[in-house]
Amino acid sequence: MAKEATPVAALSREQAAEELARLAGEIAGHDARYHRDDAPIISDADYDALRRRNAEIEARFPDLKRPDSPSERVGAAPGEKFAKVRHAVPMLSLDNAFDGDDVADFLNRVRRFLKLEADAPVPVFAEPKIDGLSASLRYERGRFVQGATRGDGFEGEDVTRNLRTVDDIPEQLQGRVPDIFEVRGEVYMSHADFAALNERQVAADKPPFANPRNAAAGSLRQLDATITASRPLKFFAYAWGEASERPADTQSGAVAAMAAWGLPVNPLARRVEGVEAMLAFHADIEARRAELGYDIDGVVYKVDDLARQDALGFVSRSPRWAIAHKFAAEQATTVIEGIEIQVGRTGALTPVARLTPVTVGGVVVSNATLHNADYIAGIGNDGQPIREGRDIRVGDTVIVQRAGDVIPQVVDVVLDKRPADAQPYAFPTVCPVCGSHAVREVNEKTGKVDSVSRCTGGLICAAQAVERLKHFVSRMAFDIEGLGEKQIAAFHADGLIAQPADIFTLELRDAEPDNLKRLKNREGFGETSVANLFAAIDERRTIDLDRFTYALGIRHVGETTARDIARHFGSFGAFREAAESVGGGEGAELDVLTDVDGVGPIVARAIGEFFAEEHNRGAIDALLTQVTPNEMERPGADGGELPLAGQTIVFTGALEEMSRPDAEALAQSLGAKTAGSVSKKTTLVVAGPGAGSKLKKASELGIEVIDEAAWLERAGKG
Ligand code: IVH
């Protein structure tokens, strides 16, 4: 079942840490496949989406950034077969822009960093972004002495012999050339040469290359340089590494100098100024993309003035003075064979298109999300028509796109190809899993009907039940070792667990003499693992109130809200009493819940509805016969004000005495709120060594800044 990635804004700390770990592994794997093996398994757009998600999560939780973060790394470590070359100047990568706003942001960042006026001109050198592989060519006194691949950005492979076979790469540069000059640029293969090579491959019974980039990479990294020589590679110079002297004061001037020395440079590059001109360049190059005869995947803008480039410098893996403006994601046309409805934990019905499989950007796609009933009907979230109002029907020929989103989207319908008998899609009014009514709620505030249909079946809905059980055992909830999503799904399917309480009666039932379904006889289980599982379950018979509250899976009650609730009420009984008093209530009746810091009317209503539902009350009663939630100390319950109440604290830089999460927890326990970024609401910044932009922002906003020692003092730990 395709699962939509949780939006970054909705991730808990714990989930964010897990996601970052997962993304680090996944991206490293793709890096190795792409850079080392020349055999990627996902499209560039999807790869970019992974990196972007990683960066977004890191921006939200800067302290969770991992030492092995992909944002600190470029490419993959080199393969074993070539000698290694340490790059005197690292070969870094480029940050990506995907639309005009990103480009405007880039320019504004540059201006801010250089302390220029908001409308100060910043000429950039704009060039096509060649889809090949980068190489570094070292020239000493104008003679080509060594060539290397990028590798991991710091160390590449010595492919000098192979690069010597590339016609575009001169052995000797012409004219007055600096003593040492490392030319950087892209090795690529033209479409025509790629087609011819693949023809030869097939004729020789060898597998064809997936695309020109892979062909170029595979050709360059041949141990036998005569093979490289037989492959028609080309080269464009666009940058430089170590240089004993700079040939010009501008990017455009340096590129012109390289051209004068006899190096091939891209003829389409232009010096442009201002967002409009940059976007016009992008549009122009995109329009000419098909006729270029080689693959490009966007354009690159570089601040033209080299003194400015120097001042701007680098941030982790990319220069602040350049950005790649990618072309829109690739699209493909296919047919919708059916529409299926998936039901999530909170009962949301998500329509998914089953497609005739089609390759989009190098990846086979057979499912695409259709979001909700409105999306299918041609209505956007704002109630306005999308796709000019064209609806989506089974049998339709559609355009699918794999863009930033990991899940492919159906972006448009080809009406000309609609079968005569195609019917408008009737979105189900009952849950396809349990048959309960599916409703679209009305948002009281806006009076608008929610775009999402929800199953009203609650726990009697098998789909919701499974998803809720998975949530119940998840990391921040009961976190039972040996009982993960897979086991839950299997136990539920076999009727062993229908509701949370059943987890805790599993052992008793397992021991019944006539039981034919003993756990130890299941695949993947044995005496020991079953004993371990029961022990792990027993360990959770008492549990902290916040975890217990979170585990219930009440809509809108994430771990933070659960903690706020637990702190506020102190016991489950008190919380439940308040929640049940609300019922389906409105207005002032919600006050008992909205009194909780962090609980607004929407959350309060969701809690009230949850407890108003009989299934839920029954499930909780059953659970409470098995499990005891601990009482929680209510901070300030004695009426005394907490020492840091009302403060919003940001920790930045390195802390030496305690980890950042511990420092944040300490601050919270003293009544403060903590935040990841400095804003007008911030009242205090605790800055350790290495603090940067947040510290700057704090001083700009006149916010008090203290060091760790002073902080510990204030927290009563000094
Ligand atoms: S400049 C420090 N210019 O894109 C900046 N890169 O996504 C060095 N690329 O590693 C790169 N065309 O392999 C630059 N006109 C161009 C480019 C270009 C293609 C590649 C290059 C780079 C990657 C970054």
- Is 50 exceeded by the pLDDT of residue 232? yes
Which of 31, 44, 94 is the best mutation target for the ligand 1 pocket, counting ligand atoms within 8 Å of the beta carbon and taking the most?
Answer: 94
| Model pTM score | 0.48
Structure tokens at 252: 């455009």
What is the arithmetic mean of pLDDT over 155-169? 92
Q: Which atom of ligand 1 is nearest to the CA of 299?
A: 15
Q: pLDDT tens digits, residue range 623-650?
A: 999 999 999 887 654 445 677 888 889 9
Which of 48, 188, 238 is the best mutation target for the ligand 1 pocket, counting ligand atoms within 8 Å of the beta carbon and taking the most?
Answer: 238
CB-side neighbour CA atoms (13 Å) of 388: 4
Q: Write down the pLDDT at residue 640.
A: 56
360: three-class secondary structure by DSSP: strand
Q: Write down the pLDDT at residue 79.
A: 54
What is the arithmetic mean of pLDDT over 84-100? 92
Q: Which atom of ligand 1 is nearest to the CA of 131?
A: 19
- Residue found by looking up tokens 């491959």 in the block: 201
Place 393 in a pLDDT band, splitting at 50, 70 and 90: very high
- Active-site amino acid positions: 129
CA atoms 110, 116, 119, 121: torsion sign: negative
What is the arithmetic mean of pLDDT over 388-402? 92
- Residue found by looking up tokens 């998803």 in the block: 467
What is the arithmetic mean of pLDDT over 530-534? 95
- Residue found by looking up tokens 């039940």 in the block: 465
CA atoms 552, 557, 561, 565: torsion sign: negative
Q: pLDDT tens digits, residue range 102-152?
A: 999 999 999 999 999 999 999 999 999 999 999 999 999 999 999 999 998
Q: What is the mean pLDDT of the chain?
A: 88
Distance CA 348, CA 370 (A): 13
**CB–CB of 425/400 below 8 Å?**
no
Structure tokens at 577: 């009493």
Distance CA 547, CA 566 (A): 9
Q: Which residues pair with 350 in a beta bridge?
A: 342
Place 590 in a pLDDT band, splitting at 50, 70 and 90: confident
Residue 16 Cα, ligand 1 centroid: separation in angstroms?
30
Q: Which residue, by CA, sits nearest to atom 16 of ligand 1?
A: 129
Quick one: how far is CA 476 from the chain centroid? 21
**CB–CB of 127/51 below 8 Å?**
no
What is the arithmetic mean of pLDDT over 691-716? 84
- Is 90 exceeded by the pLDDT of residue 428? yes
Q: Which residue, by CA, sits nearest to atom 6 of ligand 1?
A: 129
Q: pLDDT tens digits, residue range 295-341?
A: 898 999 999 999 999 999 988 778 999 999 998 777 889 999 999 99
Q: Write down the pLDDT at residue 639.
A: 44
Question: Sheet containing 123-130: which strands, arranged edge to edge?
Answer: 96-97, 322-326, 296-303, 123-130, 270-273
CA atoms 702, 707, 708, 712: torsion sign: negative
Q: Write down the pLDDT at residue 246.
A: 93
Strand 331-343 to 348-360 pairing: antiparallel
3-state secondary structure 216-243: HHHHHCCCCHHHHHCCCCEEEEEEEEEE
CA atoms 674, 678, 682, 687: torsion sign: positive
For the chain, domains (ranges, CATH) are: 8-73 (1.10.287.610), 96-326 (3.30.470.30), 330-417 (2.40.50.140), 433-634 (1.10.150.20), 648-714 (3.40.50.10190)
Between 191 and 276, residue with greater pLDDT: 276
Place 1 in a pLDDT band, splitting at 50, 70 and 90: very low
Distance CA 319, CA 184 (A): 15
Residue 261 Cα, ligand 1 centroid: separation in angstroms?
21
Between 621 and 295, residue with greater pLDDT: 621
Residue 573 Cα, ligand 1 centroid: separation in angstroms?
61
Place 243 in a pLDDT band, splitting at 50, 70 and 90: very high
What is the arithmetic mean of pLDDT over 689-699? 81
Residues lining ligand 1, CB < 6 A? 92-94, 127, 129-130, 134, 186, 238-239, 300, 319, 322, 324
Q: pLDDT tens digits, residue range 357-386?
A: 887 765 678 899 898 999 999 998 778 898
- Is 70 exceeded by the pLDDT of residue 444? no
Place 2 in a pLDDT band, splitting at 50, 70 and 90: very low
E strands, 434-532, in order: 438-442, 449-455
CA nearest neighbour of 146 among 155, 159, 134, 133: 159
- Is 70 exceeded by the pLDDT of residue 76? no
- Is 90 exceeded by the pLDDT of residue 696? no
Strand 673-675 to 133-140 pairing: unpaired
Q: How many residues does the chain have?
A: 718
**CB–CB of 645/683 below 8 Å?**
no
Residue 93 Cα, ligand 1 centroid: separation in angstroms?
6
Strand 348-360 to 449-455 pairing: antiparallel
**CB–CB of 90/319 below 8 Å?**
no
Which of 184, 186, 299, 310 is the best mutation target for the ligand 1 pocket, counting ligand atoms within 8 Å of the beta carbon and taking the most?
Answer: 186
Quick one: how far is CA 152 from the chain centroid? 22
Q: Residues of the chain with pLDDT > 70: what percent?
A: 94
Distance CA 569, CA 591 (A): 14
Q: Which residues pair with 368 in a beta bridge?
A: 353
Structure tokens at 454: 């929800």
CA nearest neighbour of 490 among 523, 521, 458, 464: 523
Q: Residues of the chain with pLDDT > 90: what percent?
A: 53
- Is 50 exceeded by the pLDDT of residue 405? no
Q: Write down the pLDDT at residue 70.
A: 84
Q: Which residue, by CA, sits nearest to atom 17 of ligand 1?
A: 129
- Is 50 exceeded by the pLDDT of residue 406? no
Q: Which residues pair with 271 in a beta bridge?
A: 125
Q: Which atom of ligand 1 is nearest to the CA of 150?
A: 10
Q: pLDDT tens digits, residue range 511-528?
A: 998 887 889 988 888 899
What is the arithmetic mean of pLDDT over 36-63? 83
DSSP 240-276: EEEESS-S-SBHHHHHHHHHHTT----TT-EEEESHH
Backbone φ and ψ of 605, nearest 5°? -65, -40
Q: Which atom of ligand 1 is nearest to the CA of 128?
A: 15
Q: Write down the pLDDT at residue 632.
A: 87
Q: Which atom of ligand 1 is nearest to the CA of 74?
A: 10
Q: How far apart are the first and last CA of the chain?
A: 52
Q: Which residue, by CA, sits nearest to atom 12 of ligand 1?
A: 129
Distance CA 575, CA 581 (A): 10
Residue 366 burial by Cβ neighbours in a 10 Å radius (0-12, 13-18, 19+): middle
Q: Write down the pLDDT at residue 303.
A: 98
3-state secondary structure 91-137: CCCCCEECCHHHHHHHHHHHHHHCCCCCCCCCEEEEEEEECCEEEEE
Residue 185 Cα, ligand 1 centroid: separation in angstroms?
7
* Amino acid (1-letter code) at residue 169: I
Residue 218 Cα, ligand 1 centroid: separation in angstroms?
19
What is the arithmetic mean of pLDDT over 65-92? 79
